[in-house]
A and B are shown apart, each in its own frame.
Chain A
C-alpha cells in the first residue's frame, strides 16, 4: 500500500493513463459537457478499480464518473472513441518500445496498487486478463518472429488493470470467450435467409393485394373485380458476402477475437459465404474463416499473411473485389460491409463500388463499430458517400449489437426503415 495518501488525494494509476484521463476530461469540458470539478479524480478512481482492459466496461465506468446528464452522452461517446484509441496506442507503444521478447515483457504496466484478482474462484482464468490478452496480442509487433498465437508455450499478456496480477494465459484459450455468438448469429443468418427479396410473387405468403393481376383478371368480367389476388415477397436462398475493414481505426474499437469468432459463426451457419478483409487493398480470407475453430482461423490467417491495421480505402477495395471476383455478389447475396467509413481514398471510387453492391446484391447492410449508440451521426465523408446505397446501417461492436441487428431483420418486411437509430439502447 502506498503512503502517498498523507499528502492528500492520491490515485494509484499509471502516468500515461492519468495523462489521458486529464486530457479526456478537458476535451469533454471543451465540448461543453458538464463534467464535475472532481471528474478527473473520480475517473482515475474508477479506472483504478476496474482496469483498462475492456472497452465497454471502461466506457461504462467513465460515463458513471464523468457524465451527469443524458444529453451529454452523445458527446461523451464520440470523444471516448478518441480517448480509447489514444490510450490503447499508449499501452501498445509502451510494449513496442520494449526490446525484450514478447514472452519476457512485463505482465502489467506500473501497478503499485494492484488488487488481487476479483475472480471468486482463483483457479479459473481471469476473464479480464483474457480479454486484455486477446486485445494486446494483436497490438504487438507484427514483425515479431514469434507470433504469440502460434507459440505453443503459454504467453503472458500485458494490460493495464488494477486487478492485473501477473498471470499466464493460453493464447488459444484467450480466444474462447464465454460470450455466446452462436445464438445471435444463427438468428441473423435465419433472418437473412428469410429476408424478402425486392420482388413479389403470388407463390409466397400473401401480404398485399396484387393490383396488377386483379386488373388483368377483371378484363374477363367486363372490368368488374370479382376476386382480389394477393402476392407476397419472394423468398430466396441465402448467400452472404462479408467485406470487413481491418484498418487500424476499426481494430482500435472492435475486438479482433469477437470479429473473427463472429465471421466463423456466420461461416458455419451460412450455406454460402465469402469473406474479404481490406484496409488499403482487399484480400479474400474465406478459407481462413471456414475452419473448425477460431484458433484455426487465426492460424490460417497467419499463413495467408492477412494484414491488419492499415488505413482505410474502401473504394479501392471494392474496385478490386469487383474486378477480381465479379461473381461474389448476385441477387441472392446479402452484403455486409463492416467498416467505420473513415475513408482515406477517393470517394467517387467508393460511390461506384457501393453502387455496384447495391445494384447487384439483395440487400446491403453496413455494420459500423462507431454506430453503437443511437446518437451516432454518419457524417464522415465515407459514410456520407456510402449511405444512399445502404439498406441498413447498424452498430457492431459486441454480441448485443448482433442481437439487435437480428431483432430488426427478423421484423423486416422490406418496407420499414432499418438501422442503428431505431435501436432502443439499454
Chain B
C-alpha cells in the first residue's frame, strides 16, 4: 500500500518520487517564481497534483504558449535532469525506447566472446543503447527526472501505444531482458499542439491542461520577468499589439514566444520609453510576430489598430506610473 492510500488494479503500488510527492503549493510557486515562469492558479493546481500523484501531465495549447517551457522549468527548478523526446512523424520504438547495438553484437559473436542465446548472450545490458524513455526509467537519482515528450501529436498513433505501459506503470518490457521498472518514476510532461486528437487510452492516463493565450496582464508580467531591459511603457505597448493581433482571425496567432522574440528585437533596435511603436516599426519587425505570409500581408490593414492599441497601452501605463510617483 502506498502512502497516498491508493492501490492500482493490478496490485502494483503506485510510487511517487520521494522528493516531489509531498511538494507543497508554496514550494511549486516558489520554483515558478525563481524560474520566472508565470503560471495561473489552474496550471499550478494541476501541476501540483501531477507531482503529488505521480501522474503524467498532458499539456495542450497553441504553439508558443509555454508548454515545453514548463518541463524545462520543472527540471531546473527541482534541480534534476530534463530528458527530452522530440516527437516526429515516423518516430519508432528504437528511437524512443531502446535499441540493440547490432555492430557490437556482431563483432562479439564473430569473435566468439558471446553467443546469441542463453547465458552470456549478446542480449544483455552491455549491448543495449538507451533511448530517452528507457533512460528516464533507469535513473539512479533520488530526485525524479523530468521526461518531456514534446509534440506527441506529431508522432504516429502507433507510437502512443508504446507510451501506455510507461505512463501507467512506469515500466517497460524488453523481451530479451524482462521488465524494467523505474525505482524513481520520472515527472512526465507530454505536450501537444492538437494537430490531431490523441487516443483515449493516452489521455486517461494523464492529467489534462489546456493552456490558453495569456491575458494582457499576465503577458506583461512575463515580459517584465523575461525581458527586464524593456521599459514598462514599451512592454505594455508590445502586449497590447499582440493582444490586438489575437483578436483578428489570423492563420497563426502570435504566442508568448513570439511576443518575447519581438520584445527582444525591439530592445535590440533601441526602443525605449520615449519611442512609440509606429506602423513602420511594426511592419519592419512583423516577422517576429507573424509566421504566415498571408498574415504578414495583412499587416498594413491592421497597422492603425495595432498602433492605436500600443499608444493607448503606453498612455495608460504612463498615467499609472505618474500616479505611483
Q: CB-CB < 8 A to B42: which residues of A? A: 56, 59-60, 63, 426
B53 close to A49 (CB less than 8 A): yes
CB distance from A404 to the nearest CB of B (A): 6
Question: Which of these, A12, A36, A118, contacts B5 with CB under 8 Å?
Answer: A12
Contact A60 B46 (CB under 8 A): yes
A73 and B42 alpha carbons, distance in the complex (Å) = 13
Closest to A38 in B: B204
Closest A residue to B197 using CB positions: A69
Check B216 for interface membership: any CB of A closer than 8 A: yes
B282 CB to closest chain A CB (Å) equals: 18
Give the distance in Å from the alpha carbon of A5 to the alpha carbon of B14 in the complex.
Answer: 12
When the two chains form their complex, are residues A36 and B203 in contact, meaning their CB atoms are under 8 A apart? yes
Q: What distance in Å separates the Cβ of B62 from its nearest Cβ neighbour in chain A? A: 10
In chain B, positions 303-319 with a C-beta closer than 8 Å to chain A are: 309, 312-313, 316, 319
Which of A61, A69, A423 contacts B215 (CB under 8 A)? Answer: A423
Q: Which 10 residue pairs are nearest across A and B when measured between Cβ atoms?
A: A36-B204, A5-B7, A60-B45, A60-B42, A64-B207, A426-B40, A64-B46, A68-B203, A118-B24, A70-B210
A-B contacts, 6 of them at CB < 8 A, read: A5-B1, A12-B5, A60-B43, A68-B208, A118-B22, A426-B212
Query: Which residue from chain B places its CB closest to the CB of A422 in the assembled complex?
Result: B247
Interface contacts beyond A5-B7, A42-B207, A50-B45: sample of 5 additional A-B pairs, CB < 8 Å, sorted by A: A48-B5, A68-B200, A119-B24, A411-B240, A426-B42
Knowing A9-B8, A118-B22, A411-B316, say if A37 contacts B213 (CB, 8 Å).
no
A69 and B202 alpha carbons, distance in the complex (Å): 13
* B-chain residues with CB within 8 Å of residue A2 when the two chains form the complex: 1, 5
- Whether the pair A9, B7 counts as a contact (CB closer than 8 A) is yes
Could you say which residues of chain A place their CB within 8 Å of the CB of B197?
A: 69
Q: Is A3 part of the binding interface, using a Cβ–Cβ cutoff of 8 Å? A: yes
Interface residues of B in 228-273 (CB under 8 A from A): 240, 243, 246-247
Contact A61 B45 (CB under 8 A): yes
User: Which residue of A9, A56, A119, A403 is within 8 Å of B6 (Cβ)?
Assistant: A9
At the interface, yes or no: A413 with Cβ under 8 Å from chain B? yes
Q: Which residue of A lies closest to B25 (CB)?
A: A118
The secondary structure that dominates the A interface is helix
| B49/A424 in contact, CB under 8 A | no
Q: How many residues of A contact B (CB 8 A)?
A: 53
- CB-based contact A70/B60 at 8 Å: yes
Flag whether B325 is at the interface (Cβ < 8 A).
no
Instruction: Name the one of B6, B41, B48, B246 contacting A424, with C-beta atoms under 8 angstroms.
Output: B246
For residues 3 through 29 of chain B, which have their beta carbon under 8 Å from a beta carbon of chain A? 3-9, 22, 24-27
Using Cβ atoms and an 8 Å threshold, which residues of chain B touch A65?
49, 207-208
- A20 at the B interface (CB under 8 A): no
B128 interface residue, CB < 8 Å from A? Answer: no
A271 smallest CB distance to B (angstroms): 15
Q: Is the CB of A5 within 8 A of B214?
A: no
How distant is A233 from chain B, measured CB to nearest CB, in Å?
Answer: 13
- How far is B319's CA from A113's CA once the two chains are assembled, in angstroms? 53
A214 in the interface (beta carbon within 8 A):
no
Question: Can you list, as one digit per residue, whether each of A378-419 has a CB less than 8 Å from chain B (1) or not (0)?
Answer: 000000000000000000000010011001001101000000
A82-117 vs B, CB cutoff 8 Å, 1 = contact: the mask equals: 000000000000000000000000000000010000
Q: How far is A71 from B198 in the complex, measured between Cα atoms in Å?
A: 14
Does any Cβ of A come within 8 Å of B291's Cβ? no
Instruction: Among B26, B42, B50, B247, find the residue whose CB has the most chain A CB atoms closer than 10 A.
Output: B42
The answer to whether A411 and B24 have CB atoms under 8 Å apart is no
Q: Could you tell me the distance in whole angstroms from the C-beta of A315 to the nearest C-beta in chain B?
A: 34
Closest to B312 in A: A411
Given contacts A50-B49, A411-B316, contact A424 B216 (CB under 8 A): yes
Known: A45-B53, A64-B46. A407 touches B217 (CB 8 A): yes
Distance between A348 CB and nearest chain B CB, rounded to angstroms: 36
A: residues with CB less than 8 A from B are 1-3, 5-6, 8-12, 34, 36-39, 42, 45-46, 48-50, 56-57, 59-61, 63-65, 67-70, 73, 113, 118-120, 187, 190, 194, 400, 403-404, 407, 410-411, 413, 422-426
Complex formed: what's the CA distance from A65 to B27 in Å? 22
Task: Tell me if B41 and A404 are in contact (CB < 8 A).
Answer: no
Q: Which of A34, A63, A68, A425: most chain B Cβ within 10 A?
A: A68
Given the complex, which residues of A lie within 8 Å of B45, measured CB to CB?
Answer: 50, 56-57, 60-61, 64
Check if A36 sits within 8 Å of B200, measured CB to CB. Answer: yes
Q: Is the CB of A50 within 8 A of B48?
A: yes
Q: Is the CB of B215 within 8 A of A425?
A: yes
Q: Is the CB of B217 within 8 A of A403?
A: yes
Closest to A190 in B: B323
Q: How far is the CB of B147 from chain A (nearest CB, A)?
A: 18
Q: How far is the CA of A57 from the CA of B203 in the complex (A)?
A: 21
Report which of B208, B213, B216, B246 forms a contact with A64, defined as CB distance below 8 A: B208
Q: Of all chain A residues, which has the CB nearest B13? A: A5
| Contacting pair B41 A57 (CB below 8 A) | yes
The residue on A at minimum CB distance from B243 is: A424
**B1 neighbours in A (Cβ, 8 Å):** 1-3, 5
> Considering only CB atoms, which chain A residue lies closest to B44 in the complex?
A60
Q: Which residues of B contact A69 (CB under 8 A)?
A: 197
The verdict on A404 contacting B217 (CB below 8 Å), with A10-B5, A411-B313 known, is yes
Closest to B58 in A: A68
Chain B residues positioned under 8 Å from A10 (CB to CB): 5-7
The complex places the Cα of A126 from the Cα of B46 at a distance, in Å, of: 20
**Contact assessment for B204 and A61 in the assembled complex, using a CB-CB cutoff below 8 Å:** no
CA distance A39 to B203 in the complex (A): 11
Chain A residues whose C-beta falls within 8 Å of the C-beta of B214 in the assembled complex: 424, 426
Residues from chain A with Cβ under 8 Å of B50 in the complex: 64
The residue of chain B having its C-beta at the shortest distance from the C-beta of A398 within the complex is B41
- Cα–Cα distance between A119 and B42 once the two chains are bound (Å): 19
Are A5 and B5 in contact (CB-based, < 8 A)?
Answer: yes
Contacts known (A73-B210, A425-B212); A8 close to B53, Cβ less than 8 A:
no
A5 to B46, alpha carbons, bound, how many Å?
Answer: 25
* Inter-subunit contact B215/A120 (CB<8 Å): no
